Amino acid sequence: MVKVAVLGYGTIGRGVVTVLQGNADTIEKKAGKRVEVKKILDLRDFPGDPNADKVVHDYEEIRTDGEIQIVVECMGGLEPAYTFVKTALQQGRSVATSNKELVAKYGAELIEIAKENTCNFLFEASVGGAIPIIRPLLSCLTADKIEEIAGILNGTTNYMLSKMEREGADFHEVLKEAQAKGYAELHPEADIEGWDACRKIAILTSLAYEKQVDFEDIPTEGITNITAEDIMYAKKMERTIKLIGQSWISEGKVYAMVSPMLIEMDHPLAPVKGVFNAIFVHGNMVDDVMFYGQGAGSLPTASAVAADVVDCVKHIGKTVKINWSKEKLALGDIGGFERKFFVRLPGDTPEDKIRDLFGEVEMITVPGLDEKAFVTKAIKENDFDKAAAAVNVINRIRLH
Amino acid sequence: MVKVAVLGYGTIGRGVVTVLQGNADTIEKKAGKRVEVKKILDLRDFPGDPNADKVVHDYEEIRTDGEIQIVVECMGGLEPAYTFVKTALQQGRSVATSNKELVAKYGAELIEIAKENTCNFLFEASVGGAIPIIRPLLSCLTADKIEEIAGILNGTTNYMLSKMEREGADFHEVLKEAQAKGYAELHPEADIEGWDACRKIAILTSLAYEKQVDFEDIPTEGITNITAEDIMYAKKMERTIKLIGQSWISEGKVYAMVSPMLIEMDHPLAPVKGVFNAIFVHGNMVDDVMFYGQGAGSLPTASAVAADVVDCVKHIGKTVKINWSKEKLALGDIGGFERKFFVRLPGDTPEDKIRDLFGEVEMITVPGLDEKAFVTKAIKENDFDKAAAAVNVINRIRLH
């Protein structure tokens, strides 16, 4: 029997308890031992809840309980999650977490502390929710040099873009509806500004290249500027607009970025709709692989956390090797990276001027829109910005 | 330094050597030790090949070489692969294989022998080529009850169906072209009759339910009856035809089957085109997940084999737990399972007779085809067969 404490009894924490209790027999078979939720930390009380008697309000009750071997952290945010997790690891207790902020910021350090204390710090659910991606990166794609990771890493924005595409609806209209349905939060900035996707691509990139990628270093752009007109142009180009968290290698340098991108319809990420997430990986040998599933949701995310608990049980007394050093990975300068841009200018912009500024371009017209819209050749971001400053850009979107 | 022998220097074996040598530094970092290909078993000589000096013609030279710790089996077929692999495991050498026939037939036994000899028998590449699916099933989806696995498990047939769909082409025409391009073999039965997919779903189902699923027990139907007309009807129904290897749980029983199926366009398997494979898994907690990638090809498949080699190196002296007992899993009787069928009958079949035989149906018409085509309600396979025997069925395809 292995006893577990769950920190936070919100959407994910409650899901973890449901999975650990509801699939207890399956889990026992896979883990080799029975797993029992002994204590749940939350500031609130839950009268009537079947686990109400397990709820404690003070972390001290968990810290000092010598029976607890595994701690599941589902509180979110940096504090007090960081302090609690660190304390648990220093006590030699393994930790499973779904907390992407914690992992992006302190992943390397917590992995090191786990190693020093011969326990484990696992975080499969911190990226892509239910999707197995961390473990496949660490234990399946081990014979490859990873050349690109591109992910639809945020369900809220993918739901919104899918809906805009399907209904020709406007961003603000769709946001309001998503908030009413609970798919978007009342303060939706972390999703729509790309900050959530940014932390997730930082984690994946750190794991792929085994060094610390600071999320603050990743140029990040959200979807707030995407309009119904952009979607019309995308259709004309037989592409779809997705918020992509991406990292890639070019001339020996690792680049990373989060931004809306125009994806070709036959790319495996293109059909990923609604709240689903997907992570595309290109390796120098494996070619293209993709992992798809629920990026959020109580039980799906909890399933990934519970699978980490199973792994913690299987590895009591040893540490699963995770190469992610504290050494900082210097990212390549995005300004010097070449790519194609889709650009919309007012209808009265002379085409000569466009070609003077942007070089050869391919014009795109959508009936009813009095604009000059075009796709550039691959040009450096810096050069593009310089050219764009000389005209009145309505919007511009990167091509994948 | 860990020394490896590769059995078979064909498409996959050559790929494995390329990956192990070409990505040697990456692999050393992940495995923690340098990996070197010491000997290659093949009946042929390879003059001019950079590894020509490693080629031996007699397995004895590998068996008696005390330096070899890991054996990679890429010969295919049951013998002599089975004997060689068994011998290696009995010597305490770990084995990585891409051989689905070997794994489907002897997987449970070879896993047991590996355990007895404290080494490993790993076979990630035997299903889905490059796609990480075996390891995710064993170590990621461990908190779930698996309720369905549905896979596009054969690239040749998926390439053919995609081409028929895109070009409105006929089966035999597409087969000829695929053979000319090398995508289909001159004796293509294993692919087009579904036998290859059958072995793969047998392996996945054995792993999901931890008992031996004999591939001979799985009802298997290929794509040889699929016509351009079927594709026209599929489009009308907003579905796509895929060869699906599937297993699922219904009322406590495990069912398995390989057959062409009409898949809804918004199912994650629907957009999987060409030679790509994908495996969809539904768990009671994780909901839907899908794994996508190259189902074949020298380097992609070799990447998965080489990742197994890395795992073998990491686990020298211990056995990675794989639950797959020799105990036979009794599959549910497909005849008693209810599902919807799409059916095509001659144009002069009276609709009254159709409704008498099949019950309520939804008629489907395609302009220019003088047929009576329809979709049944969910009915038992046995009852469907009885009804179908009373009319002149042109074709019938199961709905997913």
DSSP readout, A192-254? Answer: HTSHHHHHHHHHHHHHHHTSBPPGGGS-B--STT--HHHHHHHHHTTEEEEEEEEEEEETTEE
Distances (CA, A) of A291 to A203, A269, A337, B394: 16, 10, 27, 38
Q: Which of B143, B266, B310 sits opposite A142 (nearest CB)?
A: B310
What are the φ/ψ torsions at residue B365 (nearest 5 degrees)?
Answer: -120, 140
Beta bridge partners of B208: none
The answer to ipTM > 0.90 is yes
For residue B330, give both structure tokens. 């009794």
B20: CB partners within 8 A, 6+ apart: A143, B4, B27, B35, B36, B37, B306, B309
Q: Do B30 and A289 touch (CB under 8 A)?
A: no
Asked if residue B181 has pLDDT above 90, the reply is no
B124-144 average pLDDT score: 96
Q: How confident is the model at residue A97 (pLDDT cuts 50, 70, 90)?
A: very high
Dihedrals φ, ψ of B163, to 5°?
-70, -40
What does the block give as tokens for B362? 């939804």
| pLDDT computed for residue A181 by the predictor | 87
3-class DSSP assignment, residue A168: coil
Query: Residue B60 burial (CB < 10 Å; 0-12/13-18/19+)?
Result: exposed
C-beta atoms of B303 and A297 within 8 A: no
Of the residues B37, B140, B266, B281, the best mutation for testing chain A's interface (the one with the most A CB atoms within 10 Å of its CB) is B140
pLDDT score at A22: 98
Taking contacts as CB-CB distances below 8 angstroms, the residues of chain B near A132 are 132, 136, 140-141, 289
Quick one: tokens of B274?
Answer: 């060409």
Q: Judge: B273–A284 Cβ closer than 8 Å, yes or no.
A: no
By C-alpha distance, which of B257, B9, B285 is closest to B153? B257
- What is the spatial distance between Cα B316 and Cα B335, in angstroms, rounded to a whole number? 46
- A131 and B27 within 8 Å at the Cβ level: the answer is no
B2-128+298-314 is classed CATH 3.40.50.720: yes
* pLDDT at B395 > cutoff 90: yes
Token pair listed for A238: 């037989």
- The number of C-beta contacts closer than 8 angstroms across A and B is 192
Beta-strand pair B121-122/B94-97 = parallel
Q: Which amino acid is at A80?
A: P
When the candidates are 3.30.360.10, 3.30.70.260, 3.30.365.10, 1.10.287.610, the CATH number that belongs to B135-294 is 3.30.360.10
What kind and span of H or E run contains A87? helix A81-90
Supply the pLDDT for residue B250.
Answer: 96
Phi/psi of residue A265, nearest 5 degrees:
-65, -25
Q: Hey, are the CB atoms on B293 and A290 less than 8 Å from each other? A: yes
CATH architecture of B335-399: 2-Layer Sandwich (3.30)
290-319 in A: which are within 8 Å (CB) of B? 290-294, 297, 299-300, 302-304, 306-307, 309-311, 314
Tens of pLDDT, residue by residue over B92-101, are 999 999 999 9
Q: Which of residues 127-146 of A touch B (CB under 8 A)?
A: 130-132, 135-136, 139-145
Residue A48 binned pLDDT confidence (cut-offs 50, 70, 90): very high
Q: How far apart are the first and last CA of chain A?
A: 50
pTM higher than the cut 0.90: yes
The average pLDDT across B374-378 equals 98
Segment A298-355, tens digit of pLDDT: 999 999 999 999 999 999 999 999 999 999 999 999 999 999 999 999 999 999 999 9
Active site residues of B: 200
List pLDDT tens digits, range B238-255.
999 999 999 999 999 999
- Predicted confidence band at A393 (pLDDT cuts at 50, 70, 90)? very high
Quick one: tokens of A395? 């919007």
Mean pLDDT along residues A242-247: 98
d(CA B56, CA A384): 58
Interface probe for A, chosen from B72, B142, B311 (most Cβ of A below 10 Å), is B142
Cα distance between residue A100 and residue A207, in whole Å = 13
What architecture is the A334-399 domain classified under in CATH?
Answer: 2-Layer Sandwich (3.30)
Closest Cα in chain B to A142: B307
Residues of B in contact with A276 (CB under 8 A): 268
State which residue of chain A sits closest to B308, comparing Cα positions.
Answer: A140
Secondary structure of B99-146 in the HEC alphabet?
CHHHHHHHHHHHHHHHHHCCCCEECHHHCCCCCCCHHHHHHCCCCCCE
Tell me what pLDDT residue B68 has.
98
Q: Report the mean per-residue pLDDT for chain B.
A: 97
Question: Which A residues in the span 152-211 are in contact with B, Cβ-Cβ below 8 Å?
Answer: 210
A183 pLDDT tier (thresholds 50, 70, 90) = confident
A26/B300 touch (CB, cutoff 8 Å), yes or no: no
Which top CATH class is A2-127+298-314? alpha beta
pLDDT tens digits, B292-328: 999 989 999 999 999 999 999 999 999 999 999 999 9
Instruction: Compute the average pLDDT of residues A43-57.
Output: 97
> Which residues, at least 6 apart from B45, have a Cβ–Cβ distance to it below 8 Å?
B52, B55
Domain ranges of chain A: 2-127+298-314, 135-294, 334-399
Query: What pLDDT does A37 receive?
Result: 98
A191 CB neighbour count, 10 Å cutoff: 25
Residue B29 contacts A where some CB pair is shorter than 8 Å = yes
pLDDT at B244: 98
Q: How confident is the model at residue A200 (pLDDT cuts 50, 70, 90)?
A: very high
Does the structure show a pLDDT above 90 at B199?
yes
Check whether B283 has a pLDDT greater than 90.
yes
Of the residues A39, A200, A211, A242, only one is catalytic, namely A200
Q: Report d(CA A235, CA A240) in Å as an integer.
A: 7
Q: Are A110 and A122 spatial neighbours (Cβ–Cβ below 8 Å)?
A: no
Residue A305's nearest CA partner among B333, B142, B8 is: B142
Separation of first and last alpha carbons in chain B: 50
Q: What is the mean pLDDT of residues A369-398?
A: 98
Token digits of residue A373: 């819209």
Kindly report, residue by residue over A346-355, the tens digit of the pLDDT: 999 999 999 9
| Closest to A293 measured CA to CA, from B278, B79, B152, B92 | B278
A300: chain B residues, CB-CB within 8 Å: 285-287
Nearest chain A CA: its distance from B384 CA (Å):
34
Residues of chain A found within 8 Å of residue B283, distances taken between Cβ atoms = 303
Average pLDDT, chain A: 97
pLDDT score of A356 more than 90 = yes
A258: left (phi over 0), alpha (psi -120 to 50) or beta: beta
At B182 the pLDDT is 84
